[in-house]
Amino acid sequence: MLYISSRWLEGQGREKSAINILLEVTAMHIRRVSLLCFAFVFLSVFTAGYGLSDAAAQNSSQKWSYFKFKSGQFFKYEMKSERGLKGWLSIKIEDESPGVFNVTLAGKWTGEFSETAKLKPGMSAFDLVYTFKNVEIPNAAGSLLNINADVVDNTTWKDGFHWTQGDSSIEVKGEKECAGIKGLLVTYSNKVFGRVQKSIYCVNSNIPLPLYAEVPAANDTWTYELVESEGI
C-alpha cells in the first residue's frame, strides 16, 4: 500500500491537483520497484552462476594428469618398508628438446643411484623405468612410477567412488596431506597368482605422480611419501 503525507500534498501548490500528484508518486514508486526487481534478478543470476561454477568445479571428475610432466618439476620421496628398510627417491624433470624430457632419478634404497634418461613422446612409465641402466632404479622406483592402468583409467576422483570388475576393485575414501598438498586416498585391490593384493595411493589429479603410495613387495610392503616438491 502507498502512503503519502498530507503536508507534502499541501506544499505542492495549486497547479497540481491531488490526483495528479498521486499519479506521479505512484509512477515514481513503480519505477523504483521495477529497478529493485531488476537488480534483484540480475544479482541472483550473477551469484547463482558463480555458485554453479564452483559446485561444478568441486564435483567434476577430472582425469588424473598421471605421468604428464613439465620442465622444472622436482619430487622427493621418503621410502621405507615394513621390514625396516629406509631410504629416499628423487625425480627431476628438465627439457632436453621439444617434446623430450631429461628425467633424473636419484636416491638410496638397497644401494645408491643417480642416472638420467630421456622421456620421449609415447613412452610409458614402464618404458622409462627400464631405460635406466642401473638395476637399482627399477627396483626402487618401479612401484611408484608404474601405476596399474585400472587406477589411471577407471577412477573417478571423488570421495566415495567405487569400481569393480572381475577380481579388481577401486575405492576412493578420505584424503591425506603430503608436503602441504592434499589428495584423495584410493585403494586398489586385485588378485595376483590367486592372492589378493592391495595398493593404496594418495592422488591429487593435477600432479603427475602419487603423493603417497603403499604397495606390496616380495614378502614386504613399501611406502613412498612426498616430502619435497618444486614446479607443481
Domain map (residue ranges) of the chain: 6-54, 74-230
Report the alpha-carbon distance of residue 131 to residue 92 in Å, rounded.
16
pLDDT at res. 61 = 53
State yes or no: pLDDT of 164 exceeds 50: yes
Contact at 8 Å (CB) between 53 and 75? no
Q: What is the pTM of this model?
A: 0.73
Q: Which residues contact 139 (CB under 8 A, 6 or more apart)?
A: 109, 110
Q: Per-residue pLDDT tens for 3-40?
A: 344 333 344 444 444 444 434 534 444 444 344 334 43
pLDDT tens-place string over residues 55-97:
233 334 578 999 999 999 999 999 999 999 999 999 999 999 9
What are the pLDDT digits (tens) for 137-158? 999 999 999 999 999 999 999 9
